[in-house]
């Protein structure tokens, strides 16, 4: 079994962060492991507090994993400060981590800032470690320092992010009102478009975490970047179609659709 590591924050309601990552990894048939960078207090209504983990404990978590286990791929999520970004970057270089997928988490769906302003420049340098970077449009606008209004802008922004050192860039289009096509810019300059469908649901908590973890799992299993993105897109689409409510706000996606069906779960 392939082993995939997530380095991200914890979501107390289980819909995003490392909890979503581990669910997606399990659904992909890989063994998921975690390095926790922060603990958040959140539910379906929003994020209400964040406590960073010390950089010493973050470094130690990475150290003990890599010194004992062969890690086939790494997914990076919430990194809230420049100190944490620097610590993780140095550790990943030390252990020659491979197949790194970076989801540049900046703001939660409830508009809670998860990345400090002082850490933006550090994140721009950090993404050069990534085999793939997966920004949504608001994140892409910050990284590329430009407005993104259409597919041409998405491609141009991806090229600018590539110039920061990212090998491959997946620009997610879900924030556009007229279209939700995702665009993949590959290392060789090839542009691949993944048309999407707008699904009528409010329950989209953890979609970015889930997609990036799915892609990291598939890359770890030996799939190409393009194939991993295609299969990841198919998985997250089904997960959103089978999302459900657990509270009063934005509910999670259905990570284990097949298992839920087998178990006779009715979550309508």
Integer Cα distance of 219 and 74 in angstroms: 10
pLDDT of residue 267: 61
Instruction: Quick: pLDDT tens for 16-48.
Output: 999 999 999 999 999 999 999 999 999 999 999
pLDDT band at 110 (very low <50, low <70, confident <90, very high): low
Give yes or no for residue 114 having a pLDDT over 90. no
CA pair distance 176, 174, nearest whole angstrom: 6
pTM of the predicted model, to two decimals? Answer: 0.95
SS3 218: helix
* 115 confidence band (pLDDT: 50, 70, 90): confident
Q: What is the mean pLDDT of the chain?
A: 92
The pLDDT of 198-217, averaged and rounded, is 93
Q: Which of 6, 40, 204, 210 is catalytic?
A: 204
pLDDT above 80: residue 104: yes
82 to 11, 78, 79, 95, 119: CA distances (angstroms)? 21, 12, 8, 20, 4
Options 6, 207, 210, 214, the catalytic residue: 207
Average pLDDT over residues 178-207: 90
Amino acid 177: pLDDT: 61
Candidates 206, 220, 232, 251; catalytic one: 206
- pLDDT score at 105: 83
Active site residue 208: yes
| CA distances from residue 205 to 23, 59, 197, 243 in whole angstroms, order as listed | 13, 28, 17, 9
**Can you tell me whether residue 162 is helix, strand or coil?**
helix
What is the number of residues in the chain? 268
CATH topology for 3-262? 3.40.1190
Per-residue confidence (pLDDT) for residue 94, from 0 to 100: 98
Q: How confident is the model at residue 266 (pLDDT cuts 50, 70, 90)?
A: confident
% of residues, the chain, pLDDT over 70: 97
Sequence ranges of the domains in the chain: 3-262
Per-residue pLDDT averaged across 180-191, rounded?
A: 94
The answer to whether 174 and 146 have CB atoms below 8 angstroms apart is: no
| Candidate list 209, 214, 232, 251, residue with the active-site label | 209
Tokens at 224, concatenated: 């190409």
Lowest average pLDDT, out of 138-142, 187-191, 219-223, 257-261, goes to 257-261
What's the pLDDT at 226? 97
Q: What whole-number distance in Å separates Cα of residue 214 and Cα of residue 49?
A: 27
172 catalytic residue (yes or no): yes
The answer on pLDDT for 207 being more than 90 is yes
> Could you give phi then psi for residue 264, rounded to 5 degrees?
75, 25
Active-site position among 23, 124, 172, 233 = 172
195 pLDDT higher than 70: yes
Query: What average pLDDT does the segment 148-154 reach?
Result: 93
Res. 263 pLDDT band, cuts 50 70 90: confident
The angle subtended at Cα 162 by Cα 99 and Cα 93, nearest 5°, is: 40
Q: Could you tell me the two tokens for 33?
A: 């492991």
Of residues 203 and 179, more confidently modeled: 203
Strand intervals (E) in 25-133: 31-43, 46-52, 73-76, 100-102, 132-133
Residue 196 falls in the annotated catalytic set? no
Side-chain-side CA neighbours of residue 174 (13 Å): 19
In the residue annotation, 207 being an active-site residue is answered as yes
Rounded Cα distance, 36 and 256, in Å? 23
The reported pLDDT for the residue numbered 159 is 97
Q: Of these residues, 77, 89, 208, 254, which one is catalytic?
A: 208
């Amino acid at each position: 079994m392939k082993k995939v590591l997530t380095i991200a924050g914890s979501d107390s309601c289980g819909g995003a962060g490392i909890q979503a990552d581990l669910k997606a990894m399990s659904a992909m048939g890989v063994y998921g492991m975690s390095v926790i960078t922060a603990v958040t207090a959140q539910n379906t209504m929003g994020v209400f507090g964040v406590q960073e983990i010390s950089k010493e404990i973050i470094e130690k978590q990475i150290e003990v994993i890599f010194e004992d286990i062969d890690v086939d791929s790494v997914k990076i999520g919430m990194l809230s400060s420049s100190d944490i970004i620097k610590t993780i970057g140095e550790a990943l270089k030390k252990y020659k981590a491979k197949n790194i997928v970076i989801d540049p988490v900046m703001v939660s769906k409830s508009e809670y800032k998860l990345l400090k302003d002082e850490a933006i420049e550090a994140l721009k340098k950090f993404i050069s470690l990534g085999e793939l970077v997966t920004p949504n449009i608001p994140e892409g606008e910050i990284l590329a320092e430009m407005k993104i209004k259409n597919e041409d802008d998405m491609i141009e922004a991806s090229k600018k992010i590539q110039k920061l050192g990212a090998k491959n860039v997946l620009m997610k289009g879900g924030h556009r009102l007229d279209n939700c096509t995702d665009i993949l810019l590959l290392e060789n300059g090839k542009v691949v478009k993944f048309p999407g469908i707008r699904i009528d649901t409010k329950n989209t908590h953890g979609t970015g975490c889930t997609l990036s973890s799915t892609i990291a799992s598939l890359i770890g299993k030996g799939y190409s970047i393009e194939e991993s993105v295609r299969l990841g897109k198919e998985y997250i689409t089904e997960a959103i179609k089978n999302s459900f409510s657990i509270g009063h706000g934005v509910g999670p996606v259905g990570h284990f659709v097949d298992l839920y069906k087998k178990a006779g779960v009715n979550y309508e």
